[in-house]
């Protein structure tokens, strides 16, 4: 199938398919005699895998490692689990950081009168540069 059909079948845009090929995440497609890319079912499965992994927030390097493990039928599942556990820990740390940011902003919004006066605790806090 051509890149448009592969994009439709996988849910990954043609632009992203080309990008994944250029960074080595997806295997370069076979070429037809007319030099057009020719994708097969394995390519579509790989693209779906990449799309799902991206939606779960895995980095490109993590996805590459997971793809390699997925393709290796003799893989130790502990390697997959290690990557996933590390990713969960990173996500939880980011969530905690975002919750702290939201709490700070809620407090600042609560302290701001939001009226015609120029006094603004939100701007005062930002100007201080305190983290």
pLDDT in tens, 73-121: 999 999 999 999 999 999 999 999 999 999 999 999 999 998 998 989 9
Specify the pLDDT at position 37: 85
pTM for this entry? 0.80
Specify the pLDDT at position 66: 97
Closest CA to 25 of 55, 74, 62: 62
Helix (H, G, I), strand (E, B) or coil at 130: coil
Yes or no: say if 25 and 60 are a contact pair by the CB < 8 Å rule. yes
* Cα 96 from Cα 84, distance rounded (Å): 18
Closest CA to 54 of 26, 92, 75: 26
Using pLDDT thresholds of 50, 70 and 90, give the confidence band for residue 130: low
CATH top-level class of 1-59: mainly alpha
* Cα 38 from Cα 15, distance rounded (Å): 15
Give the Cα-Cα-Cα angle 98, 51, 100 (nearest 5 degrees): 5
């Amino acid at each position: 199938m051509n890149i448009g059909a592969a994009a439709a079948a996988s849910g990954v845009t043609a632009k992203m398919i080309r990008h994944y090929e250029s960074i080595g995440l997806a295997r370069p497609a076979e070429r037809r005699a007319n030099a057009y890319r020719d994708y097969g079912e394995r390519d579509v499965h790989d693209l779906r895998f990449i799309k799902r992994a991206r939606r779960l927030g895995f980095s490109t390097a993590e996805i590459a490692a997971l793809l390699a493990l997925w393709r290796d039928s003799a893989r130790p599942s502990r390697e997959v689990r290690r990557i996933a556990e590390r990713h969960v820990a990173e996500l939880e740390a980011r969530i905690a950081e975002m919750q702290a940011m939201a709490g700070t902003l809620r407090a600042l919004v609560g302290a701001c009168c939001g009226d015609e006066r120029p006094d603004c605790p939100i701007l005062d806090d930002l100007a201080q540069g305190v983290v």
